[in-house]
Every structure is written in C-alpha cells, then in structure tokens.
C-alpha cells in the first residue's frame, strides 16, 4: 500500500458511543489500512476503547506530539494526538454534553489541520447530534459533521457559506449515490430541487468522482416523482427542473443521463457480479431516496463522503449505536471502508 506524504486524522466521534471502539478494532484487524493514520482526540478515551477489543491482538496506544509523527510510528501501535483537554471517564451508551464537546472539538481541530495542510484529510467516527447540541456553542449550530465542516471551510476561505457548496455521497462496493439535499424535512427538500441546485450537484459530483475514477463519471439522475413524472401526469419537476439542468450539464461536457424512474435507476447503477455497472453514481433528489438503497445493500460497508470541500472527509455510514457501546461487539467494517476511501481520495487511486 502506498505511503501517504501526510497522515490521515481520524476523529473518535462521541466517546459514549461505538466510535472509539471501532477505531481501536480497525487497528487490530486492518493494520495496513491504518498505516500513516492517527487519532485526533483523547489518549484516555482510546486506551479505554482498546481495552474493549482484547479478543483481537490489542495494540498499545501511544501519544504523539504532532501529526507528522504518525508517519514514523512503529507497527502495532495506535498513535493519538491529544487535541482536547484530558477527558473524564464518561458512561457508555448515554447522551452527555461533555462527550458532545469532546467530539466537536476533535472534529474542529482536524478540520482546521486539514485546511492548513497539516493532514491529508480526515475520517470521522459518528457524532451524536443530541450530545453535540447539548455541548452548546459553537457546536449547537450544526446538525452534524457536514454542516460543521462546510462552515469551517468557508470561514477559512473567507467566503460566504453559499460559496462553499457541499454534497453528501453514500457509497459501498455496489452502489454510489449523491444527494441534492441532506438534513432537511421532506417538504423543504422538495423546495430545494431547483435547476441551479441540481446543476451544482452534477458539477460537484463530476469533479470529485473524476479524481477517484481517473475519468469522467457516468451519472444517472433519479426523478422526483413516481415513474419520473410519467410525462407530467404525476408532477412537472422532471420537465421544468431536471431536464433543463441536465441539458446545461451536457453542454458543459458532463456525462449525465436521465431523469429516470427512482424505483429502478438504483438497480441500473449497482455493480454486477462481473464488476460492470451501467452508471457510476446516482444523483438522488433527497436524503431517504438515496440512502435507503445504499443502506439496504449493507450499512456495515457504507461510507459517507463529503464532496465539494477543499479537503478529504469520509465517515462510516452508521450512527453512534449507543445500545452497543461498551460491549466490545461493534462491527468496524464501515470504518475500514471509510479509511480505505479516504486513502483513495488522497492518492487519486481508483
């Protein structure tokens, strides 16, 4: 595996959830993937997490003084950079404002380090939105990771938030989907489907996936309405919004197709047994339309990628699983895939 010139920062997520545990488990089961990586968080939290996975060959947790030291850590060692005040022992599986603050501070540090060029990118373990909100300002301003990263990137660039558009891509080995809108109500999501926003989504997806694939992605656009509107019988969004957006995208040279019936387009973009797929990605109109098919195919393999940022950010496609926290049984497969995807995005491999 190619060595990175800068390390990847991994944030522990909510320390009362499964984030620290799955990170520790990845170090035990996938040492090749964690080469050149370190945890930006709390040493004590990670030592406690490593103690949960003793059934696997446990790695010692060592404290480092700078991100660059992660590139030279000996094998069988989990490096942690203490980027937050030393955390108290927090209860597993409970919503706690102190946990939300630790999680938020870790992400904020890693984001700023990436924007300064000190790390190659970041992989974020799950946050708990209620704990993050309970931590107070500035973290209570953000519904989740995506919005926090977007705001910090816009601040770093000195531009308004509107000039730092981002999109969420959910991906696993079989299917990729990019969302036009993310964490808003369904009614608001329908209002967000505009020619400009759809076109912006297509442009962001084209640029981001071109780096991963080494070529222009073949993009399929899902319709808004059943049967993609059936020529206007079930709604006119496809005619009035999607078709003009796709026409402009084609003028710009993007390889885009549709709009297609939402109930079949995901099957057409799914990777087949022979490795082939008709489309590289589906552009979904709203959160559940795109996430349900990806998660149905296997949430344990899913990866959340934020597109449009001036940095690489991936995350497992699951939550904090408070009911599993502290039991040592959480599945780390999605975290393995998130680290692997981040390495691909950083190196440009496909």
Which pLDDT score is estimated for 217? Answer: 97
CA distance 53 to 48: 10
User: 315-335, pLDDT tens digit by residue?
Assistant: 998 899 999 999 989 999 999
What is the CATH code for 1-159+300-350? 3.40.718.10
pLDDT tens-place string over residues 209-228: 998 888 999 999 999 999 98
pLDDT in tens, 58-82: 679 999 999 999 999 988 899 999 9
Q: What is the pLDDT of residues 160-169, one digit of tens each?
A: 999 999 999 9
Q: Which residue has the higher pLDDT, 277 or 298?
A: 277
pLDDT at residue 1 is higher than 80: no
Residue among 337, 336, 346, 247 at smallest CA distance from 26: 336
- What is the C-alpha separation between 23 and 335, in angstroms, rounded? 7
The predicted structure's pLDDT at residue 104: 96
Determine which of 121-125, 133-137, 271-275 has the lowest per-residue pLDDT on average: 271-275
Which two structure tokens, joined as six digits, stand for 298? 């296997």
Q: At what angle do helices 145-157 and 97-115 cross, to 10 degrees?
A: 40
pLDDT value, residue 344: 85
Could you say which DSSP state residue 127 is in?
A: P
pLDDT in tens, 12-67: 999 999 999 999 999 999 988 999 999 999 999 999 999 998 766 667 999 999 99
Q: Which residues pair with residue 224 across a beta bridge?
A: none
Q: Where are the domains of the chain?
A: 1-159+300-350, 173-297
Q: Is the pLDDT of residue 141 over 70?
A: yes
* pLDDT score at 124: 98
Query: What token pair was written down for 46?
Result: 């990670």
Judged against a pLDDT cut of 50, whether residue 349 lies above it is answered with: no
- Report DSSP letters for 59-104, one per residue: PPEEEESSGGGGGGPPSS-EEEEE-SPPPPPPPTT---HHHHHHHH
- Cβ distance 174 to 271 under 8 Å? yes
- Asked whether the predicted pLDDT for residue 110 surpasses 70, the reply is yes
CA dihedral sign of residues 235, 240, 245, 250: positive
State the average pLDDT for the chain.
Answer: 92
Superfamily for domain range 173-297: Isopropylmalate Dehydrogenase (3.40.718.10)
Q: Higher confidence at residue 245 or residue 291? A: 245
Q: What is the pLDDT of residue 350?
A: 39
Between 46 and 2, residue with greater pLDDT = 46
Q: Report the C-alpha gap between 326 and 53 in whole angstroms.
A: 10
**183-219 pLDDT, tens per residue?**
788 999 999 999 999 999 999 999 999 988 889 999 9
Mean pLDDT on 296-312: 86
Quick one: how many helices (H) and strands (E) in the chain? 12, 12
CA angle 232, 237, 241 (to 5 degrees): 125
Report pTM: 0.89
Cβ atoms within 10 A of the Cβ of 344, count? 16
Distance between CA atoms of residues 11 and 182, nearest Å? 22
pLDDT of res. 300 = 67
Return the percentage of the chain with pLDDT > 70, whole number: 97
Given this chain, do its domains 1-159+300-350 and 173-297 carry the same CATH topology? yes
pLDDT given for residue 161 in this prediction = 93
Most confident of the ranges 106-115, 132-141, 313-322: 106-115
């Amino acid at each position: 595996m190619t060595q990175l010139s800068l390390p990847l920062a991994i944030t522990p997520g909510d320390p009362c959830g499964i984030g620290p545990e799955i990170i520790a488990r990845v170090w035990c089961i996938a040492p090749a993937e964690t080469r050149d990586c370190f945890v930006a968080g709390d040493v004590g939290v990670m030592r406690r997490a490593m103690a949960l996975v003793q059934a696997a060959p446990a790695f010692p947790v060592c404290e480092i003084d700078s991100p660059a030291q992660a590139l030279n850590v000996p094998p069988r060692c989990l490096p942690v950079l203490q980027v937050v005040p030393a955390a108290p022992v927090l209860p597993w599986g409970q919503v706690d404002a102190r946990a939300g603050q630790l999680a938020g501070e870790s992400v904020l540090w890693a984001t700023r380090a990436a924007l300064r060029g000190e790390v190659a990118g970041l992989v974020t373990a799950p946050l708990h939105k209620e704990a993050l909100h309970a931590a107070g300002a500035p973290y209570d301003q953000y519904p989740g990771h995506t919005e926090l990263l977007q705001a910090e990137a816009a601040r770093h660039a000195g531009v308004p938030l509107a000039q730092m558009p981002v999109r969420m891509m959910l991906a696993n080995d079989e299917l990729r989907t990019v969302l036009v809108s993310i964490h808003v109500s369904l009614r608001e999501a329908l209002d967000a489907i505009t020619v400009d926003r759809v076109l912006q989504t297509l442009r962001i997806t084209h640029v981001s996936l071109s780096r991963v694939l080494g070529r222009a992605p073949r993009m399929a656009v899902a319709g808004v309405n059943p049967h993609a509107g059936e020529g206007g019988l079930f709604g006119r969004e496809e005619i009035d919004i999607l078709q003009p957006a796709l026409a402009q995208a084609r003028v710009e040279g993007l390889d885009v197709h549709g709009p297609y019936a939402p109930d079949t387009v995901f099957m057409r973009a799914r990777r087949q047994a022979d490795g082939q797929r008709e489309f590289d990605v589906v552009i979904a109109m709203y959160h559940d339309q795109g996430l349900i098919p990806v998660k149905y195919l296997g949430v344990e393999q899913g990866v959340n990628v934020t597109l449009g940022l001036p940095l690489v950010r991936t995350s497992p496609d699951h939550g904090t699983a408070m009911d599993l926290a502290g039991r040592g049984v959480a599945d780390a497969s999605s975290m393995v895939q998130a680290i692997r995807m981040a390495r691909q995005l950083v190196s440009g491999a496909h």
